[in-house]
Amino acid sequence: MTDALFSGLLRLPTGPVDLSAIDTHAKPGFDGNKDDGERALADLGPELADMQEQLFAERTTGSTRRVLLVLQGMDTSGKGGVIRHAIGLVDPQGVRITSFKAPTEEELSHDFLWRIERAVPGPGYVGVFDRSHYEDVLIGRVRDIADEAEIERRYDAINAFEQGLVDDGVIIIKVMLHISADEQRERLLARLDDPTKHWKFNPGDIDERMLWSDYQEAYRIALERTNTPAAPWYVVPSDRKWYRNLAVAQLLREALLGLDLAWPEADFDVEEQRRRLTDETPIDAGTDSGTDKATDRTGPA
Amino acid sequence: MTDALFSGLLRLPTGPVDLSAIDTHAKPGFDGNKDDGERALADLGPELADMQEQLFAERTTGSTRRVLLVLQGMDTSGKGGVIRHAIGLVDPQGVRITSFKAPTEEELSHDFLWRIERAVPGPGYVGVFDRSHYEDVLIGRVRDIADEAEIERRYDAINAFEQGLVDDGVIIIKVMLHISADEQRERLLARLDDPTKHWKFNPGDIDERMLWSDYQEAYRIALERTNTPAAPWYVVPSDRKWYRNLAVAQLLREALLGLDLAWPEADFDVEEQRRRLTDETPIDAGTDSGTDKATDRTGPA
């Protein structure tokens, strides 16, 4: 039970959604303060890294299981911070991060899911989407980029797409990083105050901010329409950065725990291989071994 | 001078190469023991992460600069360990890792550099190749996959390719992780002794090991032929894992230092943007703002 604490607390109930009723400053499931939270996050590192490696190892058995973490949230809500602090705890070799920007000409010439499908992580990986197909029903709606009928079509297309992923072994963790408008203003002002953060600032961010309530409404509808049993939404209160990082790490941990991972068994005779190494002719690194060469390409290990 | 200590010490001199003369157990440039080395590596973290972020930020100014770390070495030499422990110190968002396995049918239908070109990191990124185009002149030679004339052609093609990358803003750090045959045997035996490591073991690894001196000779020739001023080789003694990780992190650090990175200047009026935030009409998160909508797609920030 304890193992599914965060996913239980943060999971968005199905049915009508009221984001304004979810306290952006809360810290469900955690009693401690910032120091406690940062320590708790660091303490998760070894367990997360082990499970991620087990998932990666499982590939070698032909398993298609993988994890896809979808991060959505308003500007400054901390998608990048979560990747750095939570995803940064595991081996980067097993992680595939895709950051979705405004679509290119080529991407626009295809269905909105085309570029998304190409970024789905392969078996064994933890994939992370920094923004996602949800932009196509968020900015798509707020900025009138698509008409109402197309937006409607997209909700259903997203649900069908995600169901297909789940059927194919993908565990989807959809997270909305939920901040208040006041917190966003503070964070934007902090970026302006710090010259090392100016590169992250774009005057267009304030234009988007002026549409705050339109975005909240777009989120409300999107979450309501795509909060499926196969791929539910989690709303993470994110005014506290340390809680946000810890909560997403916990959601990842609980998803990995749910996979009941184990180290794959050897598909070779361990003793036989050990004998090959202990009984071998000494290797002379200085001269050509003269060993017969095989002609089939085995490729790098 | 101190800043380029490791690259100076580990850089392979041009001219004839004798790998057997390079001590795989040495620790050039570092006086301490394992504990000191692990602490020194951890201490590099913040500086490395800062410079990586500056490189990433520089993209926004139109710069095409990026780093490509090419990792080569015999099985168990620690390519994965370097990625986990050294590259793991920086934000995974700015890193692009490509692990090259035996080529697919599609890859084999193209020139050997085709799949390599597609994996070159974009501006601002730190790319890492776990194995690389060098396999095509290593296993390619040892296993007679390509004939002598083709192998000869490839050395020149590699040099031209790398020169092109350098001209295009790529800093290439080519590293051979140099271990002894004895050390490899110990590491393979350790994998057999540890059930959590069996998934990393492949009986084919021992077949490759039996060709040890052929591989050393193939490395010798490849390093000699491709040790260019634009993209020199570094040979890192790797029998000590902690030294290997520290040395590669230092090579990366020295390369980043050489870029003389700085935070990009704001390309907007900071005061004006601050005023927009401090003078704004209060945002009512509960109702529609009714703000005029633009019709052009600005896209996610």
CA distances from A267 to A5, A57, A276, A278, B170 (A): 37, 13, 16, 20, 42
Note whether A95 contacts B93, CB cutoff 8 Å. Answer: no
Note whether B213 contacts A280, CB cutoff 8 Å. Answer: no
Note whether B185 contacts A277, CB cutoff 8 Å. Answer: yes
Res B290 pLDDT > 70: no
Note whether A206 contacts B60, CB cutoff 8 Å. Answer: no
Q: Which residues of A touch B288 (CB under 8 A)?
A: 213-214, 217
- Per the prediction, chain A carries an average pLDDT of 93
> What are B197-243's pLDDT values in tens digits?
999 999 999 999 999 999 999 999 999 999 999 999 999 999 999 99
Neighbours of A300 (CB within 10 A): 19
What single-letter DSSP state applies at residue A20?
G
Query: What secondary structure does DSSP assign to chain B, as a single string?
Result: -GGGHHHHHHBPPSS---GGGS-TT--TT--S-HHHHHHHHHHHHHHHHHHHHHHHHHGGGT---EEEEEEEESTTSSHHHHHHHTGGGS-GGGEEEEE--SPPHHHHTS-TTHHHHTTSPPTT-EEEEES-TTHHHHHHHHTTSS-HHHHHHHHHHHHHHHHHHHHTTEEEEEEEEE--HHHHHHHHHHHHH-GGGGGG--HHHHHHHTTHHHHHHHHHHHHHHH--SSS-EEEEE-SSHHHHHHHHHHHHHHHHHHTT--PPPPSS-HHHHHHHHHSPPPP-TTS---PPPP-S-----
Q: Is residue A291 part of a domain?
A: no
> What are B78-103's pLDDT values in tens digits?
999 999 999 999 999 999 999 999 99
Note whether B266 contacts A195, CB cutoff 8 Å. Answer: yes
Supply A53's token pair: 């490696």
Cα-Cα-Cα-Cα torsion B163, B168, B171, B175, nearest 10 degrees, comes to: -40
Tell me the shortest Cα–Cα distance from B79 to chain A, in angstroms: 11
HSE toward the beta carbon, residue B241, CA cutoff 13 A: 14
Note whether B199 contacts A60, CB cutoff 8 Å. Answer: yes
Q: Is residue B273 part of a domain?
A: no
Note whether A201 contacts B268, CB cutoff 8 Å. Answer: yes
Q: Which residues of A touch B103 (CB under 8 A)?
A: 299
What is the reported pLDDT for A291? 41
Mutate to test the interface with B, among A272, A277, A281 (most CBs of B within 10 A): A277
Q: Is residue B292 part of a domain?
A: no
Q: A55 lies in which domain range?
A: 2-258
Counted across chains A and B, CB pairs separated by less than 8 A come out at 223
Minimum CA–CA partner of A217 in chain B = B288
Note whether B294 contacts A210, CB cutoff 8 Å. Answer: no
Q: How confident is the model at residue B257 (pLDDT cuts 50, 70, 90)?
A: very high
Q: Is residue B267 part of a domain?
A: no
Distance between CA atoms of residues A263 and A267, nearest Å: 12
Q: Is residue B300 part of a domain?
A: no
What is the reported pLDDT for A3? 64
Res A42 pLDDT > 90: yes
Q: Is residue A263 part of a domain?
A: no
Reported ipTM: the value is 0.91
Cα-Cα-Cα-Cα torsion B115, B121, B126, B132, nearest 10 degrees, comes to: 10
Domain count, chain B: 1
- Average pLDDT estimate for B277-301: 56
Please give the share of chain A, as a percent, with pLDDT higher than 70. 93
> What are B17-53's pLDDT values in tens digits?
999 999 999 999 999 999 999 999 999 999 999 999 9
Tell me the shortest Cα–Cα distance from B37 to chain A, in angstroms: 20
> What are B269-284's pLDDT values in tens digits?
999 999 999 998 878 6
Tell me the shortest Cα–Cα distance from B74 to chain A, in angstroms: 10
Res A288 pLDDT > 80: no
Tell me the shortest Cα–Cα distance from A269 to chain B, in angstroms: 9
Q: Is residue A138 part of a domain?
A: yes
Nearest CB to A285: which of B87, B93, B181? Answer: B181
Task: Specify the CATH number for the domain of residue A14.
Answer: 3.40.50.300
CA distances from B245 to B133, B223, B256 (A): 22, 21, 17
Tell me the shortest Cα–Cα distance from B4 to chain A, in angstroms: 26
